[in-house]
Amino acid sequence: MAHFLEIDHVTKTFAVNGAAGIHVIDDVSMQVAEGEVVVFLGPSGCGKSTLMRMVGGLETPTSGRIMLEGREVKGPDRQKGMVFQSYSSFPWLKVIDNVRFGLKFRSDLSAKEKDRIARHYLQMVGLSEFEDYWVNRISGGMRQRVAIARTFAAGPDILLMDEPFGALDAQNREFLQLQLRGLCLKERKTVIFVTHDVEEAAFLADRIFVFSARPAKILEEIAICDLLPQSRDLQLRESDTFFRLRNRILGLTRTQALRSEQLEVKGP
Amino acid sequence: MEGGWRSLITFRGAERRGTMMMLGILSFIIVLVLWWGAAALKLLPPQYLPSPGAVVVRFYDLLVKYGFIGDIGISIFRVWTAFLISAAMAIPFGIMMSSFPIVNGMSQSLIDFIRYLPVPALVPLTIIWLGIGEASKIALLWLGTFFQLVLLVADDARRVPREYIEIGLTTGAKPRHILGSIVLPAMLPSMVDNLRITLGWCWTYLIIAEIVAADSGIGYVIMSARRYVKTDEVMAGILAIGIIGLATDQAIRWLHRRWFIYLT
């Protein structure tokens, strides 16, 4: 049987001034099952976001290919929803209209149906009472929830999240991780979540792919679903199991983070 | 008043709108008092520096006795016609420059070349081509603003965050949807600012056009008053432009605050 998502020997090299330049991703292959929450964990600038963007059709692999539901990914579309860290919602639209935007270009639904779906997901992220607020006037965490609601409302086959909680404070982040994990289980949505935060990765993931510094290679694959229960709460974060898991992953990432930092330096 | 006056002399201190408006009015009063004082003390003969009172009286006379209102009207008409034509062309063109490399590549250098030509240098050409009627004046204003505005609009469109575009792409929006539903609303606040600034340039070029060749308009009134050294009339003309400029600018700023209430 074909896999839901298959990344097949993908490499990526960004051209610099026309010449072959930065080698970002080095021969990565993986398979993802439907309904799985997969986290790409790696140091900043390692290329994990680029890999995720290729799944979304926003970048093209230099070689190799990406198959989603048996079809090769050729470009962005409604099947592959995105949540970004910043500029994740439109300031000129109110909260509810931002969520509705996810359905705006669907001709197969009536306006009434779109409205119903939008309100449903707004409620799922707990923002119903803020539907008439401008997004600039709600908190950063709420803005990310608006973006999540919009993306769920659009009904994508796969959800791609690029460090969506990276700019939030620690308490807010924990809360949103909890909410997102619950939402993913409930909706049985396939998710790729990119982060460099080890605890975030361990808490959210069914499976973690730990990436090396640039060019990104898969260092290790950790089946979190074998180590932690399906549904997770804040107590789990305090448990010894979680603590040991976190330390083990931290050990893996530490050296990569140092290497990655040196790679960021472009010159004097 | 808590921190009221202190904040005014604090480095990067807080600005409150009411206080800022008072300071604006105060600055006008100071200039008026200085002007009035200089005139009253006869620091310069009245032919050179008429008193504010004389200018206001003259302004009133011009309006009610000499049909100055018609000149103001025709000047405003010229400015707005040219401005609207410029904007109507520059906005789609600028957005296309930001959207398609071929449009950008074909136009960037050409626009830069034309943009650096001083507008007064083009007056003879517009007169040869279009005569001294309305068309040549509007063409001159258009030449002076279109090429500037197009680049400003293109930059506004380019500054729309990549994420916004990609939200569109991943919700099934076609390029035309993205332009209409994302790029345009996202760039609108900064574009309105640029339009406001460009409208100000229109007045500069208008006076050039009217001083060189015209038989109506504020610039024409100023120029004919100069011939007879009617300094009060010259200053009344300048005053008219200043008042129109200030009023328009304030009106657009007010609209900006109302339209883009979500930014605050």
Does residue B91 lie in a domain region? yes
> Looking at the domain assignment, is residue B52 inside a domain?
no
Q: A5-16 and A207-211: which strand pairing?
A: unpaired
Do B174 and B240 share a structural domain? yes
The pLDDT of residue B159 is above 70: yes
Nearest residue in A to B160, CA atom = A87
Q: Does A58 touch chain B (CB under 8 A)?
A: yes
Q: State whether A92 and B177 contact (CB < 8 Å).
A: no
Residues B33 and B74 in one domain: no
Q: Which residue has the higher pLDDT, A19 or B138?
A: B138
Higher pLDDT, B187 or B20: B187
pLDDT of res. A256:
77
Region A205-219: what's the mean pLDDT?
91
**Residues written for chain B:** 264
Cβ proximity of A41 and A196 under 8 Å: yes
- B104 and B153 together in one domain: yes
How distant is the Cα of A102 from the closest Cα of chain B, in angstroms? Answer: 6
Question: In this model, does residue A190 exceed pLDDT 80?
Answer: yes
Average of per-residue pLDDT across B191-197: 95
Q: Averaged over B255-264, what is the pLDDT? A: 92
In the block, tokens 């931290």 appear at: A250
The pLDDT value recorded for residue B3 is 55
Q: Give every CB contact of residue A200 below 8 A, 6+ residues apart in sequence.
A: A39, A165, A173, A177
Q: What is the ipTM of this complex?
A: 0.91
CA neighbor of B83 nearest in space, from B75, B95, B94, B71:
B75
> Rounded distance, CA A236 to CA A71, Å?
38
CB atoms within 10 A of CB A186: 10
d(CA A157, CA B145): 48
For chain A, percent of residues with pLDDT exceeding 90: 69
Report how many domains make up chain B.
2
Does the residue B51 lie in any domain?
no
Q: Of chain B residues 143-162, which have a CB less than 8 A from chain A? A: 161
* Residues from chain B contacting residue A108 (CB–CB below 8 Å): none
- Collect all residues of chain A within an 8 Å Cβ-Cβ radius of residue B261: 134
Query: If you average pLDDT over every residue of chain B, what do you get?
Result: 92
> Among partner residues A76, A90, A105, which is closest to B164 by beta-carbon distance?
A90
Decide: A80 and A106 in contact? Cβ < 8 Å.
Answer: no
End-to-end CA distance of chain B, in Å? 24
> Is A229 strand, coil or helix?
coil
The reply to whether B26 and B154 lie within a common domain is: no
B111 plus B221 within the same structural domain? yes
Q: For the residues B216-225, what does the mean pLDDT come to?
A: 92
DSSP run (H or E) holding B235: helix B231-259
Instruction: Collect all residues of chain A within an 8 Å Cβ-Cβ radius of residue B262.
Output: 91-92, 134-137
Q: Which residues pair with A127 in a beta bridge?
A: none
Q: Could you read off the pLDDT of A94-105 as tens digits, one per residue?
A: 999 999 999 999
**Interchain CB contact of B176 with A (< 8 Å):** no
Handedness of CA B51, B54, B56, B59 (dihedral sign): negative
% pLDDT > 90, chain B? 74
B185 in contact with A at a CB cutoff of 8 Å? yes
Q: Are residues B61 and B10 in the same domain?
A: no
Do B121 and B27 fall within a single domain?
Answer: no
Spatial distance between the Cα atoms of B61 and A175, rounded to a whole number of angstroms: 72
C-beta of residue A148 within 8 angstroms of C-beta of residue A164: yes
Residue B150: CB atoms within 10 A of its CB come to 24
Cα A87 from Cα B207, distance rounded (Å)? 44
Using CB atoms, pick whichever of A56, A76, A104 lies closest to residue B181.
Answer: A104
Minimal CA separation from A11 to chain B, in Å: 22
CA distance B151 to B198: 12
Residues of A in contact with B167 (CB under 8 A): 82, 84, 88, 90, 101, 150
Cβ contacts (< 8 Å) between A76 and chain B: which residues? Answer: 166, 169-170
Co-location of B258 and B128 in the same domain: yes
**Is the pLDDT at A219 greater than 70, yes or no?**
yes
Examine the domain organization and report whether B32 and B80 are in the same domain: no
β-pairing verdict for A207-211 and A37-41: parallel
Please name the residue that has the structure tokens 């472009």: A266
Q: Let me know if residue B50 belongs to a domain.
A: no
For residue A253, what pLDDT band results from cuts at 50, 70 and 90?
Answer: confident
> What letter does residue A265 receive in the DSSP assignment?
-
For chain A, list the strands marked E by DSSP: 5-16, 19-32, 37-41, 63-68, 71-72, 80-83, 158-162, 190-195, 207-211, 218-222
Query: Residue A267 has what pLDDT?
Result: 66
Shared domain check, B139 and B18? no
Residue B213 pLDDT: 78
Query: How many Å apart are CA A6 and CA A68, to the nearest integer?
Result: 6
B-chain CB neighbours of A103 within 8 Å are 171
pLDDT above 70 (res A20):
no
Mean pLDDT of B168-193: 95
pLDDT tens digits along A159-175: 999 999 998 988 889 99
Domain containing B209: what range? 57-263
With DSSP H G I counted as helix, E B as strand and the rest as coil, what are the percentages for chain B, rounded to 5?
A: 80, 0, 20
List beta partners, residue A17.
none
**B95 found inside a domain:** yes
Q: Do B131 and B174 share a structural domain? A: yes
Asked if residue B114 belongs to a domain, the reply is: yes
Query: Do B75 and B34 share a domain, yes or no?
Result: no
DSSP state of A225: G
Mutation target for A interface from B171, B190, B192: give the one with most A CBs within 10 A.
B171
Q: What is the CATH number of the domain that holds B130?
A: 1.10.3720.10
Q: What is the CA radius of gyration of chain B?
A: 23
Does the residue B49 lie in any domain? no
Band (pLDDT 50/70/90 cuts) for residue B145 is very high
pLDDT of residue A45: 78
The 10s digit of each residue's pLDDT in B100-123 is: 999 999 999 999 999 888 888 888
Chain A touched by B16 (CB under 8 Å): no
Q: Please answer whether residues B187 and B160 qualify as being in contact, where contact means their C-beta atoms are separated by less than 8 angstroms.
A: yes
Examine residue B48 and state whether it is found in any structural domain, yes or no: no
Q: What is the mean pLDDT of residues B205-217?
A: 87
The partner residue sitting opposite A77, judged by closest CB among B172, B260, B262, is B172
- The mean pLDDT of chain A is 90
More confidently predicted of A41 and A231: A41
A251 CB near a chain B CB, below 8 Å? no
Residues of chain A numbered 92-121 and touching chain B (CB < 8 Å): 92, 101-106
